[in-house]
Structure 1
Amino acid sequence: MKKLIFLFAILFSLSGIAQNSQLFEDANNAYAEGNYEEAVAKYEQILENGETSAELHYNLGNSYYKLSRIAPSIYHFEKALQLDPGNEDARNNLTFARTMAIDALGTEESEGFWGIFDRSTSAFSAGGWAWVAIICMMVFIVFFLVYYFSRRSMIKRMTFIGSMFFLVLAISSVIIGFLKQDLQQESNFAIIFSEEVEVKSEPSVRAGEAFLLHEGAKVKITENFQEWVEIELPNGSQGWMQENDLKRL
């Protein structure tokens, strides 16, 4: 009975993958034909099915951009860069999408050691560095086995050096991956989705207005209070707004 349940689980999983693959192809075809609304609907359906990827978010960003829907366009380009920091197409298109936003807030650059660390390791996401660690560990094992079983001193010397190099690289990649994950969790950003938001000086509808923001603006969330969130802009300005006016990255 357990084997039968396991078999059904595998078949269900494979059917889901096949369905999402077909949806992705149909969405790409719809986009190529200029049917951007249809493309968006199919891409969003894939996300609802629990599948995500940098390519999926990138294509969604492009589709929303074609429909002049700025907030979701910026949001999905940002998500694509979270999953694939080295995606230059997503980075360039994000720059174009930002030019359509009303608020020219700029971008927040991390300062000090963590800023340098984040920029110097931007080739991969935290998950990408985990894969680098796995590959390096596999290469280490191969080198070490050759070193262990070889009888020639030259080969033993070279493979030992190579195995130690890839072991250090694997350990370093694991550390980088954990640090990037922690850094990403601490950097709690969101995109404004409402057309116009009145940011308050306090978490109350009766509080005075601090400033106005419009859809597509990227803000940093610094605190939560019931249905309110405190936000901070790159220039240091802070205020409170209702959480349903934005979407967390």
Structure 2
Amino acid sequence: MTNFDRPIAGRRRPIRTGVALLVVVSVRMATGAAVASAGAPTYDRQVRTLADALGAFDEAARVAARDPRRASELYEKAAAGFESLIADGVRNGRLFYNLGNTYVRLGRLGKAIASYRRAAALMPDDPNLRENLRFARTLRQDQIAPPETATAVRSLLFWHYGVSMRWRANIALAAYVAFWALLAAGRLVRGRLAALVWASRAAGLTALMLGASVLIENHDRRTTQAGVLITDGVVLRKGNGEAYEPQYNYRFSDGLEFDLVEPPRGDWLHIRLPDDKDGWVRSDQVELI
């Protein structure tokens, strides 16, 4: 598998879609010593594919106002190029980010959101990525809120849901070190100053809470499969087949995110929506993340 992370340098160009600022990262890759184990011919082909895809995106952005049809063709070319790199085994946050931006321009919200979420797993602290993902979610037709209890829990545990796992892990480690350092200092100080005692307790509690938070999220990532609808007019059924009646008198739209309830059964998936509604959908109507 080729890894483009190390030889990458980025340049960012602001691109406006509506009122949002979408950012395309043009990835530049070095050659020579940075050639991956896949071999120079494969690497060179991937470099050309990436350059062609980025060029198609830039050209599409230039002609979009005067020739929307041509722009759409160029965005399709860009998306195909990015997808071919992913199919080759390239796993890079900027690549998924670029693909997400391309799908937003094509109006394919489900695929855009899936790409952004894959990018977020690789670069969770990127503010432009977070903003683009937030914006893509505002474009979807179905805005389904989680239950009030879930919203309250997220507000109460803001440090779990609002801070990236990387930062929580770093703070937990720092708090763990501070706990033992303060504990040792307290034993050396005659009379054990109350401030040191309380500081060590606070550090220990912080390390415990954030460490548990990281373990819980890591477990959820391994055991929970997320996904997104990639087409409009999706019917959630009561079972895994067209013969089953619709679960709800409503057709759901492109871009709606969900969690998988159980392993797939043939070509059907049992999914749960953000408001805890569930039902079965065909696998060709979704993209798993």
Compute the TM-score of the two structures, normalised by the length of structure 1.
0.67
Per-residue Cα deviation, 1:51-93 (whole angstroms, up to 9, x for no partner): 0111111100111111112221121112111222212212211
Please say if 1:103 is aligned against 2:142.
yes
TM superposition shift of 1:240: 1.6
TM superposition shift of 1:37: 1.8
SS at match of 2:269: strand
SS at match of 1:23: helix
SS at match of 2:219: helix
Q: 2:146, 2:275 within 8 Å by CA — same for their partners in 1?
A: no
Letter matched to residue 22 of structure 1 = R
Q: Mind listing any 5+ residue stretches in structure 1 that lack a counterpart?
A: 1-9, 137-171
Q: 1:110 to 1:80 in 2, by over 3 A?
A: farther
Q: Give the fraction of aligned pairs with identical amino acids, expressed as a percent.
A: 21
Letter matched to residue 98 of structure 2 = N
Q: 1:200, 1:240 within 8 Å by CA — same for their partners in 2?
A: yes
Q: 1:84, 1:124 within 8 Å by CA — same for their partners in 2?
A: no
Q: Who is 2:48 aligned against? A: 22
Per-residue Cα deviation, 1:215-249 (whole angstroms, up to 9, x for no partner): 11111111235222221111121112222321111
Q: 1:22 to 1:223 in 2, by over 3 A?
A: same
Select which of 161, 175, 179 maps to 1:119: 161
Per-residue Cα deviation, 1:165-194 (whole angstroms, up to 9, x for no partner): xxxxxxx99987665432212332111123
Q: Who is 1:160 aligned against? A: none
Q: 1:125, 1:177 within 8 Å by CA — same for their partners in 2?
A: no
Written as runs of structure 1 = structure 2, the 5 A alignment for 1:29-108 is: 29-34=55-60, 35-106=74-145
Q: Who is 1:230 aligned against? A: 270
Q: 1:203, 1:225 within 8 Å by CA — same for their partners in 2?
A: no
Q: 1: CA distance between counterparts of 2:167 and 2:122?
A: 6
SS at match of 2:90: coil
Q: 2:235, 2:246 within 8 Å by CA — same for their partners in 1?
A: yes
Letter matched to residue 189 of structure 1 = A
Q: 1:26 to 1:208 in 2, by over 3 A?
A: same
Q: 1:86, 1:123 within 8 Å by CA — same for their partners in 2?
A: no
Q: 1:225 to 1:66 in 2, by over 3 A?
A: closer
Written as runs of structure 1 = structure 2, the 5 A alignment for 1:157-172 is: none
Q: 1:83, 1:125 within 8 Å by CA — same for their partners in 2?
A: no
Moved more, 44-53 or 75-84: 75-84
Q: 2: CA distance between counterparts of 1:112 and 1:28?
A: 42
Q: 1:84, 1:125 within 8 Å by CA — same for their partners in 2?
A: no
Compute the TM-score of the two structures, normalised by the length of structure 2.
0.59
SS at match of 1:33: helix
Q: 2: CA distance between counterparts of 1:173 and 1:112?
A: 16
Q: 2: CA distance between counterparts of 1:221 and 1:40?
A: 26
Q: 2: CA distance between counterparts of 1:121 and 1:243?
A: 32
Aligned CA RMSD, in angstroms, stands at 3.6
Q: Structure 1 or 2: larger helix share? A: 1
Q: Who is 2:286 aligned against? A: 246
Q: 1: CA distance between counterparts of 2:43 and 2:146?
A: 37
Letter matched to residue 278 of structure 2 = Q
Q: 2: CA distance between counterparts of 1:18 and 1:60?
A: 20
Q: Mind listing any 5+ residue stretches in structure 2 that lack a counterpart?
A: 1-34, 61-73, 175-208
Q: 2: CA distance between counterparts of 1:24 and 1:107?
A: 39
Select which of 210, 218, 239 maps to 2:247: 210
TM superposition shift of 1:111: 7.4
Moved more, 12-21 or 191-200: 12-21
Aligned residues: 205
Q: 1:117 to 1:238 in 2, by over 3 A?
A: same
